Structure 1
């Protein structure tokens, strides 16, 4: 949701009016992030989700449900096709509609109303290209238009790409120009990078926040580049055994750590017996929301142990933190391989047969990143990429080019 809002904010700064459509609670979460001066240009349009069997009430985002239940949420969003069509008809004229892959049903509605279509991929180019051309994605996705309950992410993505006019992507050419060129060849459509949307200085400031003051006090007690920041995202929860091995690995490394471990009601996980007591002078387990960008920006943080979601990688590299990578699902494994090739960190080894990892592999990986030999390379390469990711003028160049393309290729009413 955040990248779509960031793009909306950029378009609003140029005087364009946007309508951000989502479920009501999602919009409540986003509204505080809209600067007051942009409020007149960004209309938040709430469309309540229809009830779906087995989907808990008030669930509207993938972070609200277990990973395996995300399909139920997509099914609920499929029920928005008619309300969305009514909104678009009432809001006409509209020049462009920018959408994500779950809304595979949106292009035919836009075509009927003469609205041009942008598919915005929140994955990077190497991950997007791995799926092949959109025709193969649709064919191999096993879903059918007549049976929505059987739809897969592959089918939704393939249909969304196949039916769009423009393929926009959260990326930049300095990072992966060859993959962006490959996407154009695969899909035979304009592929426009919109930039990486790094965290802005305004978003990162929470000086008067009690939560940040407490965390900052702990971080301030450690020397520069000494702390491991651990965060595994909000959309996938590791297994109980994986939590135990990770915890014991952190303990075994003897490195200071700050672990942002949000406990989820639908999947309670327990730390090893006595872990927090044994490591109270070594690390801190934080079980509430944590301001990730501010933590990563703090001088005491020397590495980021991450699940390798694209947003987290961007954030880690923005602040020049080498990565200790523990991917679990979707594009995370491929992200880890590419980042390892770029020498910005190391992937924690797993057993080739069952995919498991051990406390020893965690500890050894951490020690390598903090070490004097390979660690020096990882730190240098992470700092090098940081200069590109955090280059405000460079990233704004991409959003400006995208805005210019939309303006020059907008639908012109017939006279």
Structure 2
């Protein structure tokens, strides 16, 4: 039996930087939230290469414990360094998803070992792609939550599309309704991620998601890195669809210090100091920040059109550039090949090109930034809205298309979609006009800026935690911890699993810290 003053929380993200970072932010947030607990341990699980990278970059922590689960990519027909989607070409991502199910045995063995050693986890928090962890935890009597780094609305549309595959049933239609989520309907064919567009129910992605999503029903609930005040419609879908608890606890974001320490060294990227020094030379609310995240890039023709639009707009811009589709996006950027001839010379002074990585949180917090042209990845969205920065949306994949819908017309109103996906025609003049709409003194631009400030205020209110008031996200996290504690207390008097049981006295944990 474990001592009564020990608490262990297990967190387990999928092997992708866009999943690992939100989980790391959540783990550090939980550490801060529960810092008064003696002998708190947060066990962070992943595969060997990802754990090795975290070991080399994480700030000192008394609670965070990094643990490897055995995984050999080459056993699954993957390159030997393919522990992370960053190292994979897109067609192999589905293979990594299927390969990740091989972690089920080691994961179960680890939990059994913790229980046998008197350290039964208070809870397991696992990735949206690790539905099987919910089934394992239910078998072992361990409280489980799915953690989504996506918005409730975006994930609801994404989930419903996979469950229903409406485009496959109506192959000639250009719009589809979501039979179990009318609030997200209609969906246009141009909003379908490539994986869903090509899905027919028998392909690799369909087979994986059929098993993965159905297992969510075994979970005790879903944690969302979002804010209830502007994302309630999507959250309600999961309460209705799965009949589980939903806890909107966001934004949970890495501090700038932790963000920098966990970002791989990029000698060609710009330091926070370099970007800040350049932004310091610009007037307030004058700069367009352009970045499409760590996993996305434009086609070469689209890149040319965007460059032409930026040049003709006359606006200052900071653009994080990556090689276009069809090239290694982590390779050196060849401006001479992929941008209009003379572009850098003609935009010198008012434009700053940064290769592959920039300190996004610091950039978005800078007073010179007026708007953010983004792929609408939810982490990026939260960083922007936390600073009251309006968005120009160019969604690329997954649920990003539906994040853009939520942001533009779903009650947030702080976004203007400028393009969609990697296919289709994109014209520089149309891009320039939308940049001017968002950044200029237009009625739409003023409204976007007002709504972005409102979203910022909602976020600040949701995170408020003082004697006068506790925000919705603070209360939701307390409710999650309380639910896990209640389940642990009940397990002391309930059936024991074969390898032993352990518990934490409820009275020893205060969730209002």
Residue correspondence of structure 1 range 176-255 to structure 2 within 5 A: 176-200=231-255, 203=258, 211-255=271-315
Distance 1:327 1:156 in 2: 27
| 2:73/2:81 contact within 8 Å kept | no
Distance 1:387 1:380 in 2: 11
Counterpart for residue 172 of structure 1:
227
| 2:163/2:210 contact within 8 Å kept | no
**Pick aligned residue for 2:62 from 33, 37, 40:** 40
**Worse-matched range after superposition: 244-253 or 273-282:** 273-282
**Pick aligned residue for 2:359 from 276, 279, 291:** 291
| 2:98/2:208 contact within 8 Å kept | no
Distance 1:184 1:234 in 2: 31
| 1:137/1:155 contact within 8 Å kept | no
Distance 1:387 1:201 in 2: 20
Shift of 1:142: 6.5
Aligned CA distance change for structure 1 residues 135 and 221 (closer, same or farther; 3 Å): closer
2:138 paired with 1:111: yes
Distance 2:220 2:280 in 1: 50
Aligned CA distance change for structure 1 residues 222 and 376 (closer, same or farther; 3 Å): same
Shift of 1:138: 10
- TM-score calculated relative to the size of structure 1: 0.87
**Pick aligned residue for 1:372 from 441, 453, 473:** 441
Q: Which runs of 5+ in 2 are unaligned?
A: 1-19, 169-198, 262-268, 465-470, 495-513
Shift of 1:165: 2.0
Higher relative CO (CA 8 A, sep ≥ 6), structure 1 or 2?
A: 2
Aligned CA distance change for structure 1 residues 248 and 56 (closer, same or farther; 3 Å): farther
| 1:231/1:259 contact within 8 Å kept | yes
Q: Which runs of 5+ in 1 are unaligned?
A: none
Shift of 1:284: 1.0
Counterpart for residue 381 of structure 1:
451
Shift of 1:271: 2.5
Secondary structure, aligned partner of 1:234: coil
Shift of 1:354: 5.7
Distance 2:349 2:31 in 1: 48
Shift of 1:166: 1.4
Shift of 1:117: 1.9
Counterpart for residue 80 of structure 2:
57
Counterpart for residue 47 of structure 2:
23
Counterpart for residue 405 of structure 1:
483
RMSD: 3.1
| 1:134/1:158 contact within 8 Å kept | no
Aligned CA distance change for structure 1 residues 354 and 258 (closer, same or farther; 3 Å): closer
Distance 1:125 1:275 in 2: 40
Counterpart for residue 279 of structure 1:
347
Distance 1:33 1:192 in 2: 30
**Pick aligned residue for 2:403 from 329, 332, 335:** 335
Counterpart for residue 159 of structure 1:
214
Q: Which has the larger radius of gyration?
A: 2
Shift of 1:133: 6.5
Distance 2:456 2:440 in 1: 20
Instruction: List per-residue Cα deviations over 1:62-93 (Å, max 9, x = no partner).
Output: 23323333112223322222222221221112
Distance 1:134 1:17 in 2: 38
Shift of 1:257: 0.5
Distance 2:270 2:234 in 1: 43
| 1:66/1:236 contact within 8 Å kept | no
Secondary structure, aligned partner of 1:102: coil
| 1:135/1:162 contact within 8 Å kept | no
Instruction: List per-residue Cα deviations over 1:261-280 (Å, max 9, x = no partner).
Output: 24597246633332222222
| 1:195/1:399 contact within 8 Å kept | no
Shift of 1:29: 4.0
Distance 1:135 1:360 in 2: 36
**Worse-matched range after superposition: 21-30 or 337-346:** 21-30
* Number of aligned positions between the proteins: 407
Distance 1:24 1:70 in 2: 18
Secondary structure, aligned partner of 1:222: coil
**Pick aligned residue for 1:345 from 397, 400, 415:** 415
Secondary structure, aligned partner of 1:330: coil
Aligned CA distance change for structure 1 residues 272 and 163 (closer, same or farther; 3 Å): farther
Aligned CA distance change for structure 1 residues 126 and 69 (closer, same or farther; 3 Å): same
Distance 1:63 1:210 in 2: 20
**Worse-matched range after superposition: 40-49 or 217-226:** 40-49
| 2:288/2:373 contact within 8 Å kept | yes
Counterpart for residue 74 of structure 1:
97
Instruction: List per-residue Cα deviations over 1:232-262 (Å, max 9, x = no partner).
Output: 0112222222222222211121111101124
Counterpart for residue 11 of structure 1:
30
- TM-score calculated relative to the size of structure 2: 0.72
Distance 2:270 2:434 in 1: 33
Distance 1:50 1:334 in 2: 35
Distance 1:168 1:40 in 2: 24
Secondary structure, aligned partner of 1:119: strand
